[in-house]
Structure 1
Amino acid sequence: MAPLMRLVRTQSLRVPQRWARGYSSTTEPRSAHSQWYASMLPGMIPVALLGSAVYLGLQLLRSQLDHEKFLDEAREQVRQLEEEVDRLQQERALQRPAVSSSPNPASKWWPW
């Protein structure tokens, strides 16, 4: 009975040969596609990583330069608006004494 149990036990643990897939078996020739991918893919990974790093770096640089350009344009616009405000304040200061020297009879009717 013991040899029978040993036979059953070893037979149940074995995987039938037709279901087993031999990845490293040299008995079957590799297809041309699998051979090409096996030879090219390991070399393509560093190229893809380097290309992605360069692309992302250039995108970051472009973003920073675009932001700097926007800030320069915004500063120039603010400078122009400040000059216009200063010019208008000077014009207002020059016109104010002329307006205050003329008597306004309508202001006597309103106490505030």
Structure 2
Amino acid sequence: MSPLARLVQLRSLRVPLRRTRGYSSTTEPRSGHADWYASMLPGMIPVALLGSAMYMGLQLLQSRLAHERFLDEAREEVRQLEDEVDKLQKERAAQPSIVSSSRTSASKWWPW
């Protein structure tokens, strides 16, 4: 008999052992908690997904609105500063410029 045929024959004679776990045994009645979770959990998954999607969407909307409000406030502040600069430039243009007639060197301490 070939080794392959002997291996096939040995494997076919073995009886597979069934492994049962204590928590998955069907002989004992399930507890009330297990029944409640088994009935409620599959229905809660879509609700949790929908709730998470809504939360993330509202968070994104809030972030976008806060950014728009910040930009509006920044634009208003820039406009006010530009108005102040224009006003100061007009005041400076209206004042007569004073020219000093004495010519002094800026650096007197240089000997040469």
The answer to whether the superposition gives a TM-score over 0.5 is yes
Change (3 A) 1:38 1:62: same
| CA distance in structure 2 between the partners assigned to 1:54 and 1:45 by the alignment | 14
Match of 1:15 in 2: 17
SS at match of 1:37: helix
- Compute the RMSD of aligned alpha carbons: 2.6
Change (3 A) 1:30 1:11: farther
Please give the residue correspondences for 1:55-70 in structure 2 after superposition, counting only pairs within 5 Å: 55-70=55-70
The offset of 1:89, in angstroms, is 0.4
| CA distance in structure 2 between the partners assigned to 1:14 and 1:30 by the alignment | 28
For 2:60, give the aligned amino acid.
Answer: L
SS at match of 2:102: helix
Q: Gaps spanning 5+ residues in structure 2: where?
A: 1-8, 106-112
The offset of 1:106, in angstroms, is 1.6
| CA distance in structure 1 between the partners assigned to 2:21 and 2:17 by the alignment | 10
**2:97 counterpart (89, 99, 109):** 99
Relative to the length of structure 2, the TM-score reads: 0.73
Q: Which runs of 4+ in 1 moved over 3 A?
A: 8-13
Equivalent pairs counted in the alignment come to 97
Q: Alignment identity in percent? A: 62
| CA distance in structure 2 between the partners assigned to 1:71 and 1:12 by the alignment | 76
| CA distance in structure 2 between the partners assigned to 1:53 and 1:43 by the alignment | 16
Relative to the length of structure 1, the TM-score reads: 0.73
The offset of 1:88, in angstroms, is 0.5
The offset of 1:14, in angstroms, is 2.5
For 1:90, give the aligned amino acid.
Answer: K
Higher percent of residues as helix: 1
Match of 1:73 in 2: 73
Q: Gaps spanning 5+ residues in structure 1: where?
A: 1-5
For 1:59, give the aligned amino acid.
Answer: Q
| CA distance in structure 2 between the partners assigned to 1:56 and 1:78 by the alignment | 33
